[in-house]
Amino acid sequence: MYRAIVLDKTDAGVQARVQELDEEGLPPGDVTVRVDYSTLNYKDGLAITGRAPVVRRYPMVPGVDLAGTVEASEHPRWRPGDRVILNGWGVGEDHPGGLAQKARLRGDWLVPLPEAFTPRQAMAIGTAGYTAMLCVMALEEKGLDPAQGEVLVTGASGGVGSLAVALLAGRGYTVVASTGRMAEADHLKALGAAEVMDRAALAEPPVKPLGKARWAGAVDTVGSHTLAHVLATTRYGGSVAACGLAQGMDLPTTVAPFILRGVSLLGVDSVQAPLERRETAWRRLARELDPDKLEAVTTEVALAQVIPLAERILAGQVRGRTVVDVN
Protein backbone atom coordinates (compact mmCIF):
# COMPACT_ATOMS: atom_id res chain seq x y z
CA MET A 1 0.00 0.00 0.00
CA TYR A 2 1.11 3.60 -0.51
CA ARG A 3 -0.30 7.03 0.26
CA ALA A 4 -1.38 9.50 -2.43
CA ILE A 5 -3.57 12.51 -2.96
CA VAL A 6 -6.57 11.32 -4.96
CA LEU A 7 -8.92 13.57 -6.92
CA ASP A 8 -12.48 12.51 -7.56
CA LYS A 9 -15.16 14.35 -9.47
CA THR A 10 -18.61 14.45 -7.91
CA ASP A 11 -21.71 16.59 -8.43
CA ALA A 12 -20.23 18.96 -5.82
CA GLY A 13 -17.06 19.43 -7.91
CA VAL A 14 -13.57 18.03 -7.50
CA GLN A 15 -12.83 16.42 -4.11
CA ALA A 16 -9.23 15.92 -3.01
CA ARG A 17 -8.09 13.71 -0.13
CA VAL A 18 -5.13 11.67 1.01
CA GLN A 19 -5.83 7.96 0.53
CA GLU A 20 -4.10 4.60 0.95
CA LEU A 21 -3.85 2.89 -2.44
CA ASP A 22 -2.98 -0.67 -3.41
CA GLU A 23 0.14 -1.06 -5.55
CA GLU A 24 -1.83 -3.46 -7.71
CA GLY A 25 -3.77 -0.46 -8.95
CA LEU A 26 -0.68 1.33 -10.33
CA PRO A 27 -1.12 2.23 -14.02
CA PRO A 28 0.74 0.57 -16.91
CA GLY A 29 4.39 1.60 -17.35
CA ASP A 30 7.84 0.07 -17.55
CA VAL A 31 9.40 1.79 -14.50
CA THR A 32 8.17 1.84 -10.89
CA VAL A 33 9.53 4.71 -8.80
CA ARG A 34 9.58 5.16 -5.03
CA VAL A 35 8.88 8.86 -4.74
CA ASP A 36 11.03 10.90 -2.34
CA TYR A 37 9.68 14.39 -3.02
CA SER A 38 7.09 16.08 -5.18
CA THR A 39 6.07 19.70 -5.41
CA LEU A 40 3.18 22.09 -5.85
CA ASN A 41 3.04 24.00 -9.15
CA TYR A 42 0.33 26.41 -10.33
CA LYS A 43 -0.99 23.65 -12.60
CA ASP A 44 -1.30 21.28 -9.63
CA GLY A 45 -3.36 23.99 -7.94
CA LEU A 46 -5.68 24.04 -10.97
CA ALA A 47 -5.94 20.23 -10.89
CA ILE A 48 -6.60 19.90 -7.13
CA THR A 49 -9.25 22.64 -7.03
CA GLY A 50 -10.78 21.64 -10.37
CA ARG A 51 -10.59 25.33 -11.36
CA ALA A 52 -9.51 24.48 -14.91
CA PRO A 53 -9.87 21.24 -16.87
CA VAL A 54 -6.29 20.07 -16.31
CA VAL A 55 -7.28 16.56 -15.22
CA ARG A 56 -8.61 14.48 -18.08
CA ARG A 57 -9.97 11.47 -16.15
CA TYR A 58 -10.93 10.60 -12.59
CA PRO A 59 -9.98 9.31 -10.12
CA MET A 60 -6.55 10.89 -10.62
CA VAL A 61 -3.42 11.34 -8.53
CA PRO A 62 -2.25 14.93 -9.19
CA GLY A 63 1.38 16.11 -9.31
CA VAL A 64 3.20 16.97 -12.53
CA ASP A 65 6.62 16.48 -10.89
CA LEU A 66 8.43 13.85 -8.86
CA ALA A 67 11.93 12.90 -7.79
CA GLY A 68 12.61 9.40 -6.59
CA THR A 69 14.42 6.10 -6.85
CA VAL A 70 13.74 3.37 -9.41
CA GLU A 71 12.35 0.31 -7.66
CA ALA A 72 11.71 -1.90 -10.69
CA SER A 73 12.40 -1.39 -14.38
CA GLU A 74 11.83 -3.14 -17.68
CA HIS A 75 13.27 -0.13 -19.53
CA PRO A 76 16.80 -0.41 -20.95
CA ARG A 77 17.93 3.00 -19.58
CA TRP A 78 16.92 2.43 -15.95
CA ARG A 79 17.93 0.02 -13.19
CA PRO A 80 16.71 -0.37 -9.60
CA GLY A 81 18.45 2.22 -7.43
CA ASP A 82 18.73 4.88 -10.18
CA ARG A 83 17.67 8.34 -9.05
CA VAL A 84 15.29 10.04 -11.47
CA ILE A 85 13.20 13.14 -12.10
CA LEU A 86 9.88 13.38 -13.89
CA ASN A 87 8.41 16.64 -15.19
CA GLY A 88 5.20 16.84 -17.18
CA TRP A 89 4.35 14.48 -20.07
CA GLY A 90 0.71 14.59 -18.92
CA VAL A 91 1.57 12.99 -15.57
CA GLY A 92 -0.87 14.28 -12.94
CA GLU A 93 -3.26 15.08 -15.80
CA ASP A 94 -4.07 11.82 -17.60
CA HIS A 95 -1.53 9.51 -15.93
CA PRO A 96 -1.37 9.19 -12.11
CA GLY A 97 1.17 11.69 -10.81
CA GLY A 98 3.81 12.59 -8.28
CA LEU A 99 1.81 13.58 -5.19
CA ALA A 100 2.12 9.98 -4.01
CA GLN A 101 4.66 7.66 -2.43
CA LYS A 102 4.78 5.50 -5.55
CA ALA A 103 4.44 6.01 -9.30
CA ARG A 104 4.55 3.81 -12.36
CA LEU A 105 5.76 5.63 -15.44
CA ARG A 106 7.23 5.26 -18.91
CA GLY A 107 11.01 5.11 -18.73
CA ASP A 108 11.16 7.42 -21.79
CA TRP A 109 9.77 10.23 -19.64
CA LEU A 110 12.49 10.14 -17.00
CA VAL A 111 15.59 12.31 -16.66
CA PRO A 112 18.53 11.29 -14.44
CA LEU A 113 18.79 13.29 -11.19
CA PRO A 114 21.87 15.51 -11.69
CA GLU A 115 24.57 14.68 -9.17
CA ALA A 116 24.56 18.28 -8.02
CA PHE A 117 21.05 17.93 -6.58
CA THR A 118 19.35 15.97 -3.83
CA PRO A 119 15.81 14.79 -4.70
CA ARG A 120 14.51 17.57 -2.43
CA GLN A 121 16.46 20.24 -4.33
CA ALA A 122 15.29 18.81 -7.65
CA MET A 123 11.71 19.24 -6.51
CA ALA A 124 12.39 22.70 -5.12
CA ILE A 125 13.26 23.43 -8.74
CA GLY A 126 10.47 21.27 -10.22
CA THR A 127 8.62 22.11 -13.40
CA ALA A 128 8.69 25.77 -12.37
CA GLY A 129 12.49 25.99 -12.26
CA TYR A 130 13.01 23.82 -15.28
CA THR A 131 10.58 26.08 -17.17
CA ALA A 132 12.45 29.17 -15.95
CA MET A 133 15.59 27.65 -17.48
CA LEU A 134 13.73 26.84 -20.74
CA CYS A 135 12.80 30.55 -20.86
CA VAL A 136 16.42 31.63 -20.36
CA MET A 137 17.52 29.19 -23.07
CA ALA A 138 14.86 30.51 -25.50
CA LEU A 139 15.92 34.14 -24.93
CA GLU A 140 19.62 33.40 -25.33
CA GLU A 141 19.07 31.27 -28.45
CA LYS A 142 17.38 34.38 -29.87
CA GLY A 143 20.53 36.37 -29.14
CA LEU A 144 19.93 37.96 -25.72
CA ASP A 145 23.04 38.73 -23.69
CA PRO A 146 23.61 40.78 -20.53
CA ALA A 147 25.11 43.73 -22.41
CA GLN A 148 21.81 44.47 -24.15
CA GLY A 149 20.05 45.95 -21.12
CA GLU A 150 17.31 45.27 -18.61
CA VAL A 151 15.41 41.99 -18.56
CA LEU A 152 11.94 41.91 -16.98
CA VAL A 153 10.47 38.97 -15.04
CA THR A 154 6.72 39.08 -14.32
CA GLY A 155 5.05 37.13 -11.50
CA ALA A 156 8.45 37.41 -9.86
CA SER A 157 7.46 36.21 -6.39
CA GLY A 158 5.98 32.97 -7.79
CA GLY A 159 7.81 29.74 -8.58
CA VAL A 160 8.85 30.26 -12.21
CA GLY A 161 9.36 33.97 -11.58
CA SER A 162 11.63 33.76 -8.55
CA LEU A 163 13.85 31.12 -10.13
CA ALA A 164 13.98 33.10 -13.40
CA VAL A 165 15.18 36.12 -11.38
CA ALA A 166 17.89 34.00 -9.70
CA LEU A 167 19.03 32.35 -12.95
CA LEU A 168 19.15 35.57 -14.99
CA ALA A 169 20.93 37.52 -12.25
CA GLY A 170 23.40 34.66 -11.89
CA ARG A 171 24.25 35.03 -15.58
CA GLY A 172 24.92 38.73 -15.18
CA TYR A 173 21.67 40.21 -16.47
CA THR A 174 20.19 43.37 -15.00
CA VAL A 175 16.88 41.95 -13.80
CA VAL A 176 13.74 43.97 -13.08
CA ALA A 177 11.24 41.95 -11.05
CA SER A 178 7.53 42.77 -11.40
CA THR A 179 5.36 41.70 -8.48
CA GLY A 180 2.03 42.35 -6.81
CA ARG A 181 3.75 41.81 -3.47
CA MET A 182 6.02 44.79 -2.95
CA ALA A 183 6.60 43.47 0.60
CA GLU A 184 8.75 40.84 -1.10
CA ALA A 185 11.06 43.47 -2.64
CA ASP A 186 14.00 42.73 -0.32
CA HIS A 187 13.64 39.00 -0.94
CA LEU A 188 13.62 39.57 -4.72
CA LYS A 189 16.69 41.80 -4.44
CA ALA A 190 18.45 39.07 -2.46
CA LEU A 191 17.73 36.72 -5.38
CA GLY A 192 19.48 39.20 -7.64
CA ALA A 193 16.85 41.68 -8.89
CA ALA A 194 18.36 45.10 -9.56
CA GLU A 195 14.93 46.74 -9.30
CA VAL A 196 11.48 45.67 -8.13
CA MET A 197 8.39 47.22 -9.73
CA ASP A 198 4.72 47.03 -8.76
CA ARG A 199 2.85 44.83 -11.21
CA ALA A 200 -0.06 47.29 -11.25
CA ALA A 201 1.91 49.28 -13.83
CA LEU A 202 1.63 46.35 -16.24
CA ALA A 203 -1.62 44.69 -15.29
CA GLU A 204 -4.34 47.13 -16.30
CA PRO A 205 -5.99 47.89 -19.66
CA PRO A 206 -5.82 49.74 -21.98
CA VAL A 207 -2.56 48.68 -23.56
CA LYS A 208 -1.14 51.14 -26.08
CA PRO A 209 0.16 49.49 -29.27
CA LEU A 210 3.64 50.77 -28.37
CA GLY A 211 5.03 52.30 -25.18
CA LYS A 212 8.42 53.59 -24.11
CA ALA A 213 10.88 50.89 -25.18
CA ARG A 214 12.66 49.48 -22.11
CA TRP A 215 13.19 45.70 -22.02
CA ALA A 216 15.94 43.91 -23.91
CA GLY A 217 14.13 40.71 -22.98
CA ALA A 218 11.47 39.37 -20.66
CA VAL A 219 10.19 36.21 -19.00
CA ASP A 220 6.41 36.42 -18.65
CA THR A 221 4.57 34.01 -16.35
CA VAL A 222 1.35 36.01 -16.30
CA GLY A 223 -0.16 36.42 -19.82
CA SER A 224 -3.15 38.67 -20.52
CA HIS A 225 -2.77 42.49 -20.21
CA THR A 226 0.59 42.07 -18.55
CA LEU A 227 2.11 40.25 -21.51
CA ALA A 228 0.53 42.82 -23.86
CA HIS A 229 2.17 45.66 -21.88
CA VAL A 230 5.49 43.82 -21.87
CA LEU A 231 5.42 43.37 -25.65
CA ALA A 232 4.54 47.06 -26.15
CA THR A 233 7.51 48.15 -24.03
CA THR A 234 10.13 45.73 -25.37
CA ARG A 235 13.02 47.35 -27.21
CA TYR A 236 13.78 47.06 -30.90
CA GLY A 237 14.76 43.45 -31.71
CA GLY A 238 14.08 42.23 -28.16
CA SER A 239 12.33 39.01 -27.22
CA VAL A 240 9.79 37.86 -24.69
CA ALA A 241 9.55 34.25 -23.46
CA ALA A 242 5.90 33.54 -22.59
CA CYS A 243 5.20 30.55 -20.38
CA GLY A 244 2.29 31.38 -18.08
CA LEU A 245 -1.28 32.54 -17.62
CA ALA A 246 -1.56 33.54 -13.95
CA GLN A 247 -3.46 36.71 -14.97
CA GLY A 248 -5.32 35.10 -17.86
CA MET A 249 -5.09 33.14 -21.07
CA ASP A 250 -6.05 36.10 -23.27
CA LEU A 251 -3.53 38.34 -25.00
CA PRO A 252 -5.03 41.73 -25.92
CA THR A 253 -2.13 42.97 -28.04
CA THR A 254 -1.64 44.42 -31.52
CA VAL A 255 0.88 43.51 -34.20
CA ALA A 256 2.72 46.83 -33.61
CA PRO A 257 5.57 45.43 -31.43
CA PHE A 258 6.23 42.71 -33.99
CA ILE A 259 6.11 44.72 -37.21
CA LEU A 260 7.48 48.06 -35.98
CA ARG A 261 10.10 46.91 -33.45
CA GLY A 262 10.88 43.38 -34.65
CA VAL A 263 9.97 42.05 -31.22
CA SER A 264 9.84 38.24 -30.93
CA LEU A 265 7.32 36.36 -28.81
CA LEU A 266 8.84 33.02 -27.87
CA GLY A 267 6.45 30.32 -26.67
CA VAL A 268 7.82 28.05 -23.94
CA ASP A 269 6.30 24.66 -23.12
CA SER A 270 7.70 22.25 -20.55
CA VAL A 271 5.17 19.43 -20.76
CA GLN A 272 6.05 17.97 -24.17
CA ALA A 273 9.59 19.36 -24.45
CA PRO A 274 11.87 16.74 -26.03
CA LEU A 275 14.14 14.70 -23.77
CA GLU A 276 17.35 16.26 -25.08
CA ARG A 277 16.14 19.78 -24.28
CA ARG A 278 15.09 18.69 -20.78
CA GLU A 279 18.48 17.17 -20.14
CA THR A 280 20.18 20.36 -21.33
CA ALA A 281 17.96 22.45 -19.03
CA TRP A 282 18.70 20.23 -16.00
CA ARG A 283 22.44 20.21 -16.73
CA ARG A 284 22.42 23.99 -16.90
CA LEU A 285 20.38 24.22 -13.68
CA ALA A 286 23.01 22.05 -11.98
CA ARG A 287 25.76 24.42 -13.14
CA GLU A 288 24.06 27.77 -12.81
CA LEU A 289 21.50 27.79 -10.01
CA ASP A 290 22.92 29.01 -6.71
CA PRO A 291 21.83 26.41 -4.07
CA ASP A 292 21.55 29.12 -1.40
CA LYS A 293 19.12 31.10 -3.54
CA LEU A 294 17.16 27.90 -4.23
CA GLU A 295 16.89 27.23 -0.50
CA ALA A 296 15.81 30.83 0.10
CA VAL A 297 12.75 30.38 -2.15
CA THR A 298 11.80 26.91 -0.83
CA THR A 299 9.17 25.91 1.72
CA GLU A 300 8.64 22.27 2.67
CA VAL A 301 5.23 20.74 3.43
CA ALA A 302 3.77 17.27 4.02
CA LEU A 303 1.39 15.54 1.61
CA ALA A 304 -1.81 16.45 3.47
CA GLN A 305 -0.83 20.14 3.61
CA VAL A 306 -0.88 20.37 -0.19
CA ILE A 307 -4.68 20.32 -0.48
CA PRO A 308 -5.35 23.66 1.30
CA LEU A 309 -2.32 25.20 -0.44
CA ALA A 310 -3.87 24.57 -3.86
CA GLU A 311 -6.32 27.47 -3.42
CA ARG A 312 -3.55 29.69 -2.12
CA ILE A 313 -1.23 29.18 -5.09
CA LEU A 314 -4.05 30.14 -7.47
CA ALA A 315 -4.67 33.27 -5.39
CA GLY A 316 -1.01 34.26 -5.84
CA GLN A 317 -0.36 33.80 -2.11
CA VAL A 318 2.39 31.19 -2.26
CA ARG A 319 5.91 32.59 -2.29
CA GLY A 320 8.55 30.87 -4.39
CA ARG A 321 8.56 27.09 -4.44
CA THR A 322 6.88 24.46 -2.29
CA VAL A 323 8.46 21.00 -1.98
CA VAL A 324 6.33 18.14 -0.74
CA ASP A 325 7.79 15.39 1.45
CA VAL A 326 5.43 12.59 0.41
CA ASN A 327 6.76 10.25 3.09
CB of 247 to ligand NDP, least distance (A): 4
How far apart (Å, rounded) are the C-alpha atoms in residues 26 and 34? 12
Is 101 or 322 the residue whose CB approaches ligand NDP more closely? Answer: 322
Minimum Å gap between C-beta 124 and ligand NDP is 12
Q: What does the buried/exposed string (b/e) look like for 84-103 if buried means 16 or more CB atoms within 10 Å of the residue's CB?
A: bbbbbbebbbebbbbbbbbb
Q: Rounded distance, CA 95 to CA 30, Å?
A: 13
The residue ranges that bind ligand NDP (CB under 6 A) are 41-43, 127-128, 131, 155-161, 179-181, 199, 203, 221-222, 226, 243-247, 268-271, 313, 316, 318
Nearest residue to ligand NDP by CB is 158
Q: Which is nearer to ligand NDP, 134 or 216 (CB)?
A: 134
Of the pair 178, 234, the CB lying nearest ligand NDP is at: 178
Q: Return the number of the residue (107 or 161) whose C-beta is nearest ligand NDP.
A: 161
d(CA 132, CA 128): 6
Query: Which is nearer to ligand NDP, 179 or 264 (by Cβ)?
Result: 179
Question: N- to C-terminal Cα distance for the chain?
Answer: 13
Residue 306 DSSP class: H
Q: How far is the CB of 162 from ligand NDP (least distance, A)?
A: 8
Sequential DSSP letters for 172-230 = T-EEEEEES-GGGHHHHHHHT-SEEEETHHHHSSP--SS----EEEEEESSBHHHHHHH
| Residue 110: CB minimum distance to ligand NDP, A | 18
Kindly state the smallest distance separating residue 326's Cβ from ligand NDP, in Å. 18
